[in-house]
């Protein structure tokens, strides 16, 4: 029984966060996973609950089916990085899907997988678990391995972006904006943005975010897209608002972009 294992027992027994446990977070990397260890790991996560943070974060992450413990993101990322020092596939063999933080950590752990075939297997499984923007965006930003297999994952992201499921679509769009904004991809990205026909909030917001990132890197091409596209008015106007919020855009550009707004916002 290693040192962290003992700390887990003590933390559960007294129901409080152990400063010593936090100081020895690196010992997670020594764990050998089984059902009992995983249960104690979840008990350990519960000791890290921050009530005020839970209240704040749960007000931002709405309608998720996962119960929230209330752990800050840097702590979860630290835990995931230490789990990645263990046998990741053994960890993933015992994971369950009860808590928001449990899902969040799973996603970051999957991003550490080095073998592409293994990563793809868990990537496809994990996408189906996403039901909120926070887990979606953190996971999609973390999967740097997709940049080593660009053709495969760009095609995968495009297919996902066109999915009718709100968070599968958002995940595809966020993967594109984090990893595939390149000149050679512009035509396909613009075509995809035009093809999406949805009024789902988290899809439209991801479209707007993607258009903003495209404009920052390729202003001329994106300006032409903004002048004529098939996105709904909400998405068009939100994209323009996001671009105008950027400090990298001149006041003259911001004034011009306002003229491209549609509907009531244009009036």
- Sign of the Cα torsion 245, 251, 252, 255 reads positive
104-127 average pLDDT score: 98
In 3-state terms, what secondary structure has residue 55?
Answer: helix
- Residue 63 has a pLDDT of 86
> How much is the pTM?
0.87
Residue found by looking up tokens 């943070």 in the block: 53
Six-digit token string for 79: 């835990």
Count of beta carbons in the 10 Å neighbourhood of residue 189: 26
Q: Please, where in the chain does CATH 1.25.40 lie? A: 149-267
- Residue 29 has a pLDDT of 63
In DSSP terms, 67 is beta-bridged to 99
Q: What is the pLDDT of residues 173-190, one digit of tens each?
A: 999 999 999 999 999 999
- Second-level CATH architecture of 149-267: Alpha Horseshoe (1.25)
Angle, helix 186-195 to helix 219-227, in steps of 10 degrees: 30
Instruction: Quote the mean pLDDT of the chain.
Output: 90
* DSSP notation for 10-62: HHHHHTS--HHHHHTGGGGGG----HHHHHHHHHHHHHT--HHHHHHHHHHS-
Q: What is the pLDDT of residues 53-72, one digit of tens each?
A: 999 999 999 889 999 999 99
Q: Confidence band (pLDDT; 50, 70, 90) for 23? A: very low
* DSSP notation for 81-130: HHHTTS-HHHHHHH----BHHHHHHHHHHHHT---HHHHHHHHHHHHTT-
Q: What is the pLDDT of residues 233-266, one digit of tens each?
A: 999 999 999 999 998 899 999 999 999 999 876 6
- Residue 267 has a pLDDT of 53
């Amino acid at each position: 029984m290693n040192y962290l294992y003992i700390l887990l027992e003590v933390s559960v027994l007294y129901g409080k966060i152990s400063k010593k446990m936090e100081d020895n977070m690196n010992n997670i990397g020594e764990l050998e996973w089984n059902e009992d260890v995983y249960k104690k790991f979840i008990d350990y996560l519960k000791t890290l609950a921050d009530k005020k943070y839970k209240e704040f974060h749960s007000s931002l992450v709405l309608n998720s089916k996962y119960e929230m413990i209330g752990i800050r993101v840097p702590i979860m990322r630290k835990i995931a990085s230490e789990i990645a020092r263990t046998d990741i596939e053994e960890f993933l063999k015992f994971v369950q899907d009860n808590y928001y933080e449990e899902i969040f950590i799973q996603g970051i752990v999957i991003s550490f997988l080095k073998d592409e075939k293994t990563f793809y297997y868990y990537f496809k499984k994990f996408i189906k678990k996403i039901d909120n923007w926070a887990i979606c965006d953190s996971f999609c930003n973390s999967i740097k391995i997709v940049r080593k297999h660009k053709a495969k994952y760009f095609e995968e992201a495009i297919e996902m972006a066109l999915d009718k499921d709100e968070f599968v679509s958002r995940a595809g769009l966020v993967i594109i904006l984090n990893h595939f904004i390149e000149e050679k991809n512009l035509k396909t990205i613009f075509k995809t943005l035009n093809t999406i026909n949805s009024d789902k909030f988290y899809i439209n917001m991801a479209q707007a975010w993607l258009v903003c990132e495209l404009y920052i890197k390729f202003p001329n091409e994106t300006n032409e897209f903004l002048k004529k596209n098939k996105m709904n008015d909400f998405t068009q106007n939100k994209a323009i608002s996001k671009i105008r919020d950027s400090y990298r855009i001149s006041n003259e550009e911001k004034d011009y972009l306002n003229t491209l707004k549609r509907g009531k916002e244009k009036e």
